[in-house]
Structure 1
Amino acid sequence: MITRKTQICKWIVFLTAGLVVLISCAEKTASVSSNDPWKKMELVIKSIPQTKFTAKTYNINDFGAIADGKTLNTLAFEKAIKECASKGGGIVLVPNGRYLTGAIHLESNVNLHLEDQAEILFSLNPKNYPIVHTSWEGTEVMNYSPLIYAKGKTNVAITGKGTLNGQADSTNWWIWSGGKGYGWKKGIPSQNDPSNREVLVDMAEKNIPVSERVFGEGRYLRPNFIEFFECNTVLIKDITVINSPFWILHPIKTNNMIIDGVTVNSHGPNNDGCDPEYSQNILIKNCTFNTGDDCIAIKAGRDADGRRVAIPSKNIIVQNCKMIDGHGGVVIGSEISAGVNNVFVENCVMDSPNLDRAIRIKTNSKRGGVIEDIYVRNLEVGVVKECVLKLNMFYNVYGSQTGNFIPTIRNVSLENVTVKNGGKYSVWAEGYKESPVENITLKNVKIEKVDSIYLLKNVKNINFINTYINDKKVESIN
Structure 2
Amino acid sequence: MKKMRILSTITIALICSLLSFSCKEQPKTTEKADVFAQADSIIKNIQIPQFPDKEFNIMDFGALADGKTDNTQAFIKAIAECSNSGGGKVIVPAGAFLTGPIHLKSNVNLHLNEGATVLFSTDQKAYLPMVHTSYEGVELMNYSPLIYAYKQKNIAITGKGTFDGQADNENWWPWCGNSKYGHVEGTPQQRDDHNLPALRKMNEEGTPVAERIFGEGHQLRPTFLEPFECENVLIQGVTFTNAPFWVIHAIKSNSVTVNGVTVRSHGPNNDGCDPEYSKNVHIVNCTFDTGDDCIAIKSGRNNDGRRVNIPSENIVVENCIMKDGHGGVVMGSEISAGVRNVFVRNCSMDSPNLDRAIRIKTNTLRGGFVENVFVRNIKVGQVKEAVLRINTYYGIYANQEGDFIPSIKNIHLEDIEVENGGEYGVLIKGRTENPVKNVTFTNVHIKNAKTPLSVENSEPVQFTNSSINGTAY
Normalised to the residue count of structure 2, the TM-score between the two structures is 0.94
Q: Do structure 1's residue 385 and structure 2's residue 398 form an aligned pair?
A: no
- Kept after mapping to 2: 8 A contact 1:420/1:447: yes
- Kept after mapping to 2: 8 A contact 1:116/1:161: yes
Tell me by how many angstroms 1:32 deviates.
Answer: 5.6
Tell me by how many angstroms 1:451 deviates.
Answer: 0.6
Quick one: structure 1 residues 153 and 30, their matched pair in 2 at CA, closer, same or farther if it must change by over 3 Å? farther
C-alpha separation in 1, matches of 2:366 and 2:290: 24
Tell me by how many angstroms 1:36 deviates.
Answer: 2.5
**Partner amino acid for 1:302?**
R
**Residues 137-160 of structure 1, C-alpha deviations (whole Å, 9 max, x = no match):** 000000000000001011000000
Q: What's the C-alpha RMSD, in Å, of the aligned pairs?
A: 1.6
**Partner amino acid for 2:398?**
G
C-alpha separation in 1, matches of 2:432 and 2:251: 33
Quick one: structure 1 residues 90 and 428, their matched pair in 2 at CA, closer, same or farther if it must change by over 3 Å? same
Match of residue 83 from structure 1: 81
C-alpha separation in 1, matches of 2:271 and 2:455: 28
C-alpha separation in 1, matches of 2:109 and 2:413: 37
**Partner amino acid for 2:184?**
K
Higher deviation after alignment, 384-393 or 452-461 = 452-461
Tell me by how many angstroms 1:461 deviates.
Answer: 3.5
C-alpha separation in 2, matches of 1:458 and 1:473: 22
Secondary structure in structure 1 of the residue aligned to 2:315: strand
Match of residue 18 from structure 1: none
Match of residue 100 from structure 2: 102
The size of the alignment, in residue pairs, is 452
Secondary structure in structure 2 of the residue aligned to 1:327: coil
Match of residue 327 from structure 1: 326
Q: Do structure 1's residue 405 and structure 2's residue 404 form an aligned pair?
A: yes
Counting only pairs closer than 5 Å after superposition, residues 306-317 of structure 1 correspond to structure 2 as: 306-317=305-316
C-alpha separation in 1, matches of 2:273 and 2:119: 20
C-alpha separation in 2, matches of 1:25 and 1:277: 41
C-alpha separation in 1, matches of 2:217 and 2:26: 60
Tell me by how many angstroms 1:441 deviates.
Answer: 0.4
Secondary structure in structure 2 of the residue aligned to 1:36: helix
Secondary structure in structure 2 of the residue aligned to 1:198: helix
Match of residue 349 from structure 2: 350
Match of residue 55 from structure 1: 53
Gaps of 5+ in 1: 1-23
Q: Do structure 1's residue 157 and structure 2's residue 159 form an aligned pair?
A: no
Secondary structure in structure 1 of the residue aligned to 2:452: strand
Gaps of 5+ in 2: 1-21
**Residues 174-217 of structure 1, C-alpha deviations (whole Å, 9 max, x = no match):** 00100111011211111111110111011011010000001001
Q: Share of identical aligned residues, percent?
A: 57
C-alpha separation in 2, matches of 1:198 and 1:340: 26
Quick one: structure 1 residues 187 and 438, their matched pair in 2 at CA, closer, same or farther if it must change by over 3 Å? same
Match of residue 147 from structure 1: 146
Match of residue 425 from structure 2: 426
**Residues 11-62 of structure 1, C-alpha deviations (whole Å, 9 max, x = no match):** xxxxxxxxxxxxx999988986787311111111111112100110000000
4+ long deviations beyond 6 Å: 24-31
Q: Do structure 1's residue 375 and structure 2's residue 374 form an aligned pair?
A: yes
Secondary structure in structure 1 of the residue aligned to 2:267: coil
Quick one: structure 1 residues 25 and 201, their matched pair in 2 at CA, closer, same or farther if it must change by over 3 Å? farther
Q: Do structure 1's residue 302 and structure 2's residue 301 form an aligned pair?
A: yes
C-alpha separation in 2, matches of 1:280 and 1:296: 15
Quick one: structure 1 residues 162 and 435, their matched pair in 2 at CA, closer, same or farther if it must change by over 3 Å? same
Secondary structure in structure 2 of the residue aligned to 1:201: helix
C-alpha separation in 2, matches of 1:361 and 1:31: 28
Normalised to the residue count of structure 1, the TM-score between the two structures is 0.93
- Kept after mapping to 2: 8 A contact 1:132/1:142: yes
Secondary structure in structure 2 of the residue aligned to 1:442: strand
Secondary structure in structure 1 of the residue aligned to 2:459: strand
C-alpha separation in 2, matches of 1:26 and 1:198: 56
**Partner amino acid for 1:473?**
A
Quick one: structure 1 residues 96 and 346, their matched pair in 2 at CA, closer, same or farther if it must change by over 3 Å? same
Tell me by how many angstroms 1:173 deviates.
Answer: 0.7
